[in-house]
Structure 1
Amino acid sequence: MKLTVFATTDIHGAIYPYDYFNNTEKDMSLLHIKSYIDRYKQNNADETVLTVDNGDIIQGDVWSDYDYSNRGDHLLVPEIINEVYDVVGLGNHEFNFGLDYLHKVCSNIRPDIINSNVDFKDHPLKDRVLPYTIIERETPDGVIKIGFLSVVPTQILKWDAFHLKGRLTVADMRRTVEETAGEIKAEGADLIILLSHSGLSKNPDHLRKFGENQTLLMTMIKDVDGIVFGHTHEFFPDADFEVEIDNIDFKKGTINGKPMVQPGVYASHLGQLSFEVQKIEGSWKITERTAQLIDTETIHLDPVIKNKYASAHNRVQTFLSQPVGHIEAPWHTFFSRVFPSKAVQVVAEAGKAYTEKLIESGEIENLPVLGFNAAIKAGRDGANDFTVLEPGPVTLADAIDLYKHANSMIIIKINGRTLKEWLEWSASQFNSPADTDCLLKPNRSRDGFPSYNYDTFFDLDYVFDITRPPKYDSTAKHINDSSRLVEVKFKGRPVNNEDAFIIPANNYRAAYTSFLREAEILHESQLNVRDIVIDYMKGDPQFILRDPMTILPRGTYRIRTATKAKEYITEDQPIKHLEKDTDGFSWYEITLD
């Protein structure tokens, strides 16, 4: 008997085959994946076929934003989830909107929703989210029982602390999988599939208890027969997979003998776990197991399926076309990790304006306000993962492109010492001058430094010496006692350790970053950052682009960003396109005089 488990992960709301920011058709989407699975079932009626999702499906793209903004009874994303999946696991981004909204979404989903390591305590989600599920399917040789369990990183308690603190607990992933898989086996499951919303790393920090990317450990748990993993937006099986691991077979897609898939992000790939099983002496035995990825761009989209969701697509387009402002020149994030960008600075300016109104009303104390922001989209997920706003009207879709996460505004008070550590973290995104690339890779795993962790403070003037070792890694973990921060000034005066500042931040940054844990919270807004940006844009703001950062030594460096970026280089920028690289990226030369 053949068992096929189709799997997705990190869909992030990419439901319909349309790029709502560029107003173009896309050749990958969840509807493409549904087209493939429906045809496969028709052509392989003798197989047992199940479809699972490994989390981060309800947040990220504009269908998710439409659902969250309207919050009515008819939600769009659950509708397609009900059409595609048999089992759905939770990812970390499912918790971004808070537990009550997550419960509303889950209440509209019919398939089993599972998570094994989160205890929701007395919240209604405790009854809706199962610790595991066992699905039974009839075959010519009798019933086969397939068990599923799911885990999410314990770090959700940091990333969404303002939603989750005191409302739930999260157990270590590896230990949970070992114990839960044993329970499922004891209940009679013939095969067990793990949905691991966690990446695959050999870094000791990840492999120890409560590590973030623990999937390698899961391959050593005997009761687990197959694994779907995710979270880091990478691909497996893939010969270019960068982690060197023993007992890996790219042809079969196995690690330590277990078939595994990680199907990327935004519905770019479909994962397939394939098992051949045989009933021997009354028990099902696996005789063959393999895994593969299917590139969504190779899939023919069924026009009937596309037409079924066309009306929802039209509603989303109408929602996104609402005007919120106007700009005179292009805003983009192609070079935002080195040079100033209005697409980044506007969020900082909006936070400052919001905070200054609270100071004027007497709600919070009158201290200097420092605006900061990081580019959310700056190449982590490919050459199209950049924010680009063209001159002219700014719509709600553009505002979402400027800040795509549903983070709440948190206003904090910090001293100069903490501010300096914050800047040291940003300075850690740079390689040494001798390296080929000036910047660390934008990915979040292994040796990368994602752009959303690189903060620019637009009201300061500061100098980094990148000949010195970085003090932090991309997760703000202290790795060296060195210092790249040479000086930092506010309005021309050096910042002292005892100086006090007010910072309009976001709940993710305030909760995630170790050196901000002791920051004093002055205000927790009911608005999210994007709402504040939209209100700011509606006021037709005129702010001056600032370049607060100086990098030492001065000279010529190379950076890698999208090939499309060369169309946006202005005459006054010291940037030169060198050569095309791969996957839509190019190498550029920047000159710092």
Structure 2
Amino acid sequence: MSVNPAFPEEGDGREAPPVRLRLMETSDLHMFVYAWDYYRACEDNTVGLARVASLIRAARAESENSLLFDNGDIVQGNPLGDYIALPGHLKAEDGHRMFRAMNRLGYDAATLGNHEFNYGLSFLEEALRSADFPFVCANAEYVDGTPLVPREIVLEREVTDKAGQVHQLRIGVIGFLPPQIVIWDAMHLAGRVTTTDIVEAARRYVPALRARCDVLVALCHSGISSAPRQGGDENAALYLAEEPGIDVVFAGHAHRVFPGPDYDGLAGVDAQAGRLAGKPAVMPGFWGSHLGVIDLELRIGVSGWYVADSQCEVRPVYKRESGAVVPLARDDALIVETALSEHEATIAWMARQAGETELPLNTYFTFLQPDPCLALINAAQLWYVRPLLAGTDAGSLPLLSAATPFKAGGLSSDAFVDIPAGPLTMRDLANIYTFTNTICVLRCSGAEVKEWLEKSAVVFNRIVPGVTVPQRLLASDVPAYNFDVIAGVTYAIDVTQPARYTAAGMLVCPDAHRIRDLRFDGVPVDPDQSFAMVTNNYRAGGGGHFAGTGSDHVVLTGPDGNRDAVIRYVTHQGSISPSLETVWRFACPSEPVTVFVELPPAAAVLAGRNEMLQREDGGEDGFDRYTFVLS
């Protein structure tokens, strides 16, 4: 039971009929209006606001009193968002199509996510004019102290109790986003926007809001961590829930599902009931995969309304049966018609040919051997940056490039890249580089390059020699996009060593070293040697908690995006043949040991041609299991 600390008296002998209030949440929609995969040009039954809309209407029909919120990351995240953000495509008379769709669903309020700023402040400000519902954000403001949007709002709603009596209820809503936006989108926000720590902002603004409302809802575009709070935390939903005065926490940003097994075992977290620090909370996946639902039982005591009980759930738009996706929701016709012209134009835009590839490009074996997609990204980044660095202080430094896979399975996605040799379309290149990151160059020492790679190697489980049964190679709690491959050096990864860092970047095994034989031009890397490292603004700003990153390391912020660099490189080359030279390899263990990975059935033909892989029984969720021997 979650009890509002503002109302300690849970009853005074006059038990009035309770009010059942349903609160619903979407989060991390990332422009997925439709159940459509723009990268494969086919229907995708796992995503889409049009599908969630059906769940919203059904959930409303079940409850006499309900409100609907969104938790941020709305306007960016797929090619439809990119297309609408192209110059001249967002027209004031038409409005932003995602917000038009949300208007039709009657959202009550929303907060901003970090990706709202990827297209710049002017675009965001224009897009927000399309929303008929208020946005709130308490921990970001313009440098003159003016909030970007209102910090909080009180919604006054009529609600009906179980006896049919109507009451006036005041629902306070406050919003928060990761304070790292000023680093991740520095090119758009530097000198214009400042942020504060989520908990500090809550302590500043929640008490006054609490005094003006009966129920207080926190829209927290932030994930869940039970590690000790550091201040300025990216994933602060649990710390926020610990603050007095807040009744409900809506979480997001992490692209995970809560309640559910993703957060089993964390201190202060009830992953089955959906409680953070004892308070009801949900996180509804990403791209419109789920609807979060919190049902509150409100009772009135001598001091006012209090939360007597609550139930939390997430409702998916699909399920898996024997590996197949089974839709659980239909398209809502009213939402489908909202952005059809832009949707069709985006499909045509994505079909344009940019060049061709002499080799197949896929990410099935990213964690096993040279990845042609990462090789392409690194080649493009190096090609783009060299002329920009020429004549600068960093131009004389050895140049390296870090690339990460966005679609290689693992946490956050079961998607892979699979492009045959032949024509390369805009759709293909956007599939390889999903996000609209911006080119950045950092100055790193040799020691920092090694620690960067140590953090990257966290993606692997520790493998124990001498164990006779196959061991799972990949850690279950590390997203693929935190596995950077650095071109320009060569190195070995010793997975028999414990991970030096946690997934959150904390040093836990100071004596462990997975990175072996790190060389540049065939010579061992000097820890004191300086390098120029090409990466993206997210990583450069500290995203993923890698050594050698942060604003003090930045020597160049490019005017273009990483994906733009890839497109320009392919267009310039005409035909590409990404290098499959070995950048990294597994270090030989003391004795042979068998490990396994799981791949989708679509990888079967290519896996069958790979002599190191052996298909085995035991794959989960429709995936096939493959073993191979480290020796």
Question: How high is the TM-score relative to the length of structure 1?
Answer: 0.89
Structure 1 segment 398-477 matched on structure 2, within 5 A: 398-434=428-464, 436-441=471-476, 448-477=477-506
The Cα of 1:572 is off from its aligned counterpart by 4.3
- CA deviation vs aligned residue, 1:364-405 (integer Å, no higher than 9, x gap): 624433233111222245563222223332211211111111
Quick check: 2:400–2:533 contact (8 Å CA) kept in 1?
A: yes
Q: Which amino acid aligns with 2:614?
A: K
Match of 2:128 among 106, 110, 113: 106
Match of 2:157 among 137, 141, 157: 137
Is 2:615 the partner of 1:577? yes
Q: Which amino acid aligns with 2:609?
A: E
* 1:23 aligned residue: 41
* 1:529 aligned residue: 562
Question: Alignment partner of 1:356: what SS?
Answer: helix
Task: Classify 1:47/1:522 alpha carbon distance in 2 versus 1 (closer, same or farther; 3 Å).
Answer: same
Task: Classify 1:384/1:420 alpha carbon distance in 2 versus 1 (closer, same or farther; 3 Å).
Answer: closer
Q: Which amino acid aligns with 1:130?
A: P
Is 2:63 the partner of 1:38? no
Q: More displaced, 330-339 or 236-245?
A: 236-245
* 1:444 aligned residue: none
Task: Classify 1:247/1:491 alpha carbon distance in 2 versus 1 (closer, same or farther; 3 Å).
Answer: closer
Quick check: 1:427–1:484 contact (8 Å CA) kept in 2?
A: yes
Task: Classify 1:490/1:288 alpha carbon distance in 2 versus 1 (closer, same or farther; 3 Å).
Answer: closer
Task: Classify 1:59/1:557 alpha carbon distance in 2 versus 1 (closer, same or farther; 3 Å).
Answer: farther
Counterpart CA distance in 1 for 2:225 and 2:392 is 49
Counterpart CA distance in 1 for 2:521 and 2:528 is 16
Gaps (5+ residues) in structure 1?
442-447
Question: Alignment partner of 1:291: what SS?
Answer: strand
Question: Alignment partner of 1:536: what SS?
Answer: helix
Q: Which amino acid aligns with 1:458?
A: A
Structure 1 segment 150-229 matched on structure 2, within 5 A: 150-187=175-212, 189-204=213-228, 207-229=229-251
* 2:340 aligned residue: 310
Task: Classify 1:500/1:185 alpha carbon distance in 2 versus 1 (closer, same or farther; 3 Å).
Answer: closer
* 2:322 aligned residue: none
What's the C-alpha RMSD, in Å, of the aligned pairs? 2.8
Q: Which amino acid aligns with 1:185?
A: R
- CA deviation vs aligned residue, 1:146-191 (integer Å, no higher than 9, x gap): 111111233334433444344333222223324423211222x111
Quick check: 1:3–1:277 contact (8 Å CA) kept in 2?
A: yes
Question: What percentage of aligned pairs have identical amino acids?
Answer: 27
Counterpart CA distance in 1 for 2:362 and 2:618 is 20
Quick check: 1:411–1:503 contact (8 Å CA) kept in 2?
A: yes
Structure 1 segment 61-72 matched on structure 2, within 5 A: 61-70=78-87, 72=89
Counterpart CA distance in 1 for 2:209 and 2:551 is 42
Counterpart CA distance in 2 for 1:4 and 1:365 is 58
Q: Which amino acid aligns with 1:532?
A: A
* 1:3 aligned residue: 21
The Cα of 1:534 is off from its aligned counterpart by 0.4
Match of 1:508 among 511, 523, 538: 538
Is 2:97 the partner of 1:76? yes
Structure 1 segment 274-423 matched on structure 2, within 5 A: 274-278=295-299, 283-297=304-318, 298-358=328-388, 365-381=395-411, 384-423=414-453
Quick check: 1:10–1:233 contact (8 Å CA) kept in 2?
A: yes
* 2:595 aligned residue: 558
Task: Classify 1:263/1:520 alpha carbon distance in 2 versus 1 (closer, same or farther; 3 Å).
Answer: closer
Quick check: 1:202–1:243 contact (8 Å CA) kept in 2?
A: no
Q: More displaced, 403-412 or 88-97?
A: 88-97
Quick check: 2:140–2:148 contact (8 Å CA) kept in 1?
A: no
- CA deviation vs aligned residue, 1:497-517 (integer Å, no higher than 9, x gap): 344433322222222134234
Quick check: 1:88–1:111 contact (8 Å CA) kept in 2?
A: yes
Quick check: 1:560–1:585 contact (8 Å CA) kept in 2?
A: no
Counterpart CA distance in 2 for 1:476 and 1:247 is 21
Counterpart CA distance in 2 for 1:488 and 1:246 is 41
Gaps (5+ residues) in structure 2?
1-18, 160-164, 319-327
Question: Alignment partner of 2:28: what SS?
Answer: coil
Quick check: 2:151–2:174 contact (8 Å CA) kept in 1?
A: yes
- CA deviation vs aligned residue, 1:11-34 (integer Å, no higher than 9, x gap): 222210111222221223111112
Match of 1:544 among 573, 576, 579: 579
Quick check: 2:516–2:587 contact (8 Å CA) kept in 1?
A: no
Q: More displaced, 139-148 or 380-389?
A: 380-389
Task: Classify 1:238/1:453 alpha carbon distance in 2 versus 1 (closer, same or farther; 3 Å).
Answer: closer
Counterpart CA distance in 2 for 1:289 and 1:476 is 35
* 1:51 aligned residue: 68
Counterpart CA distance in 2 for 1:65 and 1:275 is 38
Is 2:119 the partner of 1:93? no
Q: Which amino acid aligns with 2:178?
A: P
The Cα of 1:551 is off from its aligned counterpart by 1.7
Question: Alignment partner of 1:294: what SS?
Answer: strand
Task: Classify 1:36/1:431 alpha carbon distance in 2 versus 1 (closer, same or farther; 3 Å).
Answer: closer
Counterpart CA distance in 1 for 2:552 and 2:237 is 33
Task: Classify 1:240/1:450 alpha carbon distance in 2 versus 1 (closer, same or farther; 3 Å).
Answer: closer
Question: How high is the TM-score relative to the length of structure 2?
Answer: 0.84
Q: Which amino acid aligns with 1:582?
A: E
Quick check: 2:463–2:473 contact (8 Å CA) kept in 1?
A: yes
Quick check: 2:458–2:500 contact (8 Å CA) kept in 1?
A: yes
Task: Classify 1:550/1:502 alpha carbon distance in 2 versus 1 (closer, same or farther; 3 Å).
Answer: same
Higher RCO (CA < 8 A, seq sep 6+): 2
Counterpart CA distance in 2 for 1:110 and 1:88 is 11
Counterpart CA distance in 1 for 2:461 and 2:80 is 37
The Cα of 1:461 is off from its aligned counterpart by 1.9
